Amino acid sequence: MKLTNLFRSILKYRKTNLSLLLVITYAIIAVLYVFDHEYYKFNLPKKDEQPEFNELLETAWTDLQTITASFHPYTSRDNDKVHDYLLSRVQEITKNASFASISDDYDSKRSILFQQQDVFNASSGISRVIYFESSNILVKLEGKNPDQEGLLLSAHFDSVPTGHGATDDGMGVTSLLANLEYHVRHKPDRTLIFNFNNNEEFGLLGASAYFDHPWSSLTKYVINLEGTGAGGKAVLFRTSDTSTAKIYQQSVRANPFGNSIYQQGFYSGYVRSETDYKVYEQNGMRGWDIAFYKPRNLYHTMKDSIQYTSKASLWHMLHTSLQLSSYVVSNSLDTEDQTPACYFDFIGQKFFVMSSKTLFYWNFIFLLISPIVVIGLYLISRDRMTWKSYSWLSWMRFPLSLLLGIVTENIFSNVVKRINPLTFSRNYFWPLSVFFTEVLLANYIVINFLNRFSPCNDMKSLTINELFIILWVTLLFTSKALYSSGYKYTGLYPLSVLFILTTAAAILRLLGSALRPKARKGHDREFMDRHSGYSSHSQIGIEEENHENTQEFQNQSVSLEDEQTSTQEDNVSTTLSRGPLHVNDDQDTDSEPPQPDERAPLLKGSSHINELSNTMEASSKPNYIDYAWIIQFLVIVPISSFILFSSVDAIMDALNQTVQEGTKATFDIIKFGMMGSILIALPILPFFYKVNYMTILLTVLIFLISTSKTLLEPPFTNNNPLKVRFSQNINLSHGDGANVHVLGREGDFLKPMLEDLPSIKHSFTPINCNTVGNGMELCTYDGMKPNLLSSNWKTDISDMLKIHVLHDSRNSTNRSPYEPIVAELLLEVKENRACTLSFNSKSQKKSPVREVTVYQSRSSTLLHTNTSKTIKSSSGIDQLQLHKLDFDQESYRIGVQWFPKILTEDNMEDDNLDTKDELFVSISCYWGEYDSDSVVNGTAVRKIPAFDELLNYAPPAFSFTNEQKGLVIVEDAVSL
């Protein structure tokens, strides 16, 4: 019997039991979280068990070391060295494979001229034309069944001027080499094409050039490998549809990692980067975008190097792509379902996929059925007189507590914005913890405070019912948004999970109430109300009240004082009143007046005992002990808490450092933190008001620690630096001053750092810092001049860019006023691979340029060139971007045709005939090499000493990246 009582005591709805279960649940979630983030590090291929995989990994790591030895943007000579290394590697791998073919765009002099919207800014209205000379390396493995639709594997080998490109995208490239080696050994069924492409960083141009290649018609599916930050695990960022998500599910059995929340981030524009996958998708291909995604403050900086990544990260991408590619090329594919997919992994062990359209239908079904079931059970309970009504004050408690939590979150968020707005960049856990504990404490304080004045029996069940109503309304609006977006809101599935589990818990309580024996009117009903405390409990564990209380008296061995102490410890209550005894035991009620221990009623005389006995004998009704709370807890809390926490963590982990990119991003992150903390708290709010004082003290301690960490810790450290963008601009129209631009987040960060530079202090150089919008600050100063060219004499900056007008028909007397105007420009640019021409007219609102021609030549004699590419646009051309490979070709020859104002606008008058139809052309040319020397008059000098100075003297809490395509931009303009 003692064992039975112990078991019953453990299962009773008591503060200690609830608190212990809550702590255990959160401890398990924490363990799963750590396991999820660390397991991949211990899952490398074993030399003895997986010799082929181990060999592929070691070779890929060596390839990565070689590729990342130097900075290799498209605008550098080291870019060609990486190209040559990759070409030699693919030749070595495929030399004995008769079914393998290699195509080198550099050797075939492949170039494209095409119109392109700004791929990094979808809202941009600038009409751009791109000229690009490609050096992609393509490898084709002819499949055993070449009639099947082929698979493309793609990664880019260029870096940015300030990054070694270990994760962006060296790991993708070396994973492609490993895949190539594997599939050469195991001939694929489908044709497999590898695209080692160039110049992704400044326009996704290598992927665009692929569609100019005849092999592009052979592929229908694509696996794109990409990266930002410094490694970690490679996530399935996005996939085309439910069919491709299921292919990933079926193929990637080891360490799957993906979440459609990231996919919605792309759809909604919160992820501000882009990958080659966008180009492939726009050209009708279906597939998978797999990428490293954090940390963004190391993305495109010098810490994107092999020192800051690991073999474990490389293996995760390599193995994921290998599993996926092997499956795709060896199996028939079911690709019927082309609706967007909702998907997520469970701690890297299991991958779940559902069509977002199917999710919408299930949401609709639950939205329709759940109210019917709940209302039906409620009516049955009312009819059987087993339902207890609640006062309006009881109904208001949970909404008021939630409202107070939201208000305190808003107050704290405003404090954060004023004191330490960039704290999320360092660690998002602390502010998220503050928001979370604020919601919990608000819930505890409001409900228990009101319970002191007006006790509410069964607050737990009432809160679950209210949470059901709130989530029903929320799911209604999110389902509408899902439908309106064309099912692209693929990150809303956690709300569906929470709603379903909450509905199950609410129905469980109502079902128990509906199945109870029908109550009799009069004394029996009064007895039920007074002895059970509430009659809406689901009842599990029935026993006779006489027997239970008799047994409790027999087992009672503590004094009155001990019982009272135990009361405070477990917060259980038994209320004794005159007349029939009101049993207000902890298992039967949620009201908490300070009363003696539940283990034995506090009886102040035998008359009370006799009164209790007489009352119980007068009724044959059983007393029902509430053990169902455990089921409700296990239904609502563990699963939904883990899914919600994982989802919020996924968002914050990917986006928290975007606070460095402007005030809008900061606002978004704070908003996500507030909403996310509420979602994480919702599953435990029906129970939290009843936790014991130790749990409350722990919650308050976490709140205080988190608040101090959030407000007082500096947002940037050596390991979590502030990312700053650099460029040195030389505008030849204003002289040859080398103006340094340093762009970063607004605040007291940039100017103090710049004022400590030796060149600034020694020359008393003024620094001008101005807000440029969206919370960003631009600081400028005159820096040391760059040394971009090697020569035997001192070179002048003006030698870097010269503009020659070869032909201009605007003022020709032979041209009709209605005839388009044509002109030719010759740009002399040394040691250069990239320039941009911008067209504008003072007399016309839009660019009047309708046609541009790029004359191609590998020789220096351009005037006799007869090879050209021309593109026309009826809507006008605002910008022409030029990308060429040959450093020895020191000129661009450009033809421009534009319409006179008389053809484009109604107002044909012009005050100044000399400037009528004048076209202004601004030219910007970019140089991206800095980590090398130039030899001037026999002396080695650094190419960009102003940038070297920043790297040498800036505090380690700063990291630097390029602001534009190059680190040095030389600008000039001409009027045609």
Write out the two tokens for 118. Answer: 């700004």
Run of H or E including 871? strand 867-872
Per the listing, tokens 């209550």 go with: 573
Q: Which amino acid is at 6?
A: L
Q: Which amino acid is at 609?
A: I
Run of H or E including 924? strand 920-927
C-alpha 854/C-alpha 111 separation (Å) is: 11
Note whether 55 and 45 are within 8 A (CB).
no
The DSSP call for residue 521 is: T
Note whether 690 and 697 are within 8 A (CB).
no
C-alpha 570/C-alpha 691 separation (Å) is: 10
Write out the two tokens for 320. Answer: 């994921």
Note whether 128 and 116 are within 8 A (CB).
yes
Q: Virtual CA dihedral for 862, 868, 874, 876, nearest 10 degrees?
A: -40
Q: Which amino acid is at 434?
A: V
C-alpha 17/C-alpha 357 separation (Å) is: 41
Note whether 767 and 702 are within 8 A (CB).
no
CB atoms within 10 A of CB 178: 27
Please spell the DSSP secondary structure of 444-495, one letter per residue.
HHHHHHHHHHS--TTHHHHHHHHHHHHHHHHHHHHHHHHHHTTS--TT-HHH
Q: Comparing C-alpha atoms, which of 248, 330, 336 is closest to residue 290?
A: 248
CB atoms within 10 A of CB 453: 7
Q: Which of 181, 200, 563, 824 is catalytic?
A: 200
The DSSP call for residue 586 is: T
Q: Comparing C-alpha atoms, which of 816, 823, 801 is closest to residue 927?
A: 801
Helices (H), 533-662: 545-555, 560-570, 606-617, 628-655
Write out the two tokens for 586. Answer: 């902890």
The phi, psi pair for 113, rounded to 5°, reads -130, 115
**Is 142 one of the catalytic residues?**
no
For strands 128-133 and 111-116, give the pairing.
Answer: antiparallel
C-alpha 509/C-alpha 504 separation (Å) is: 9
Per the listing, tokens 């608040």 go with: 707
C-alpha 959/C-alpha 722 separation (Å) is: 6
Active site residues: 200
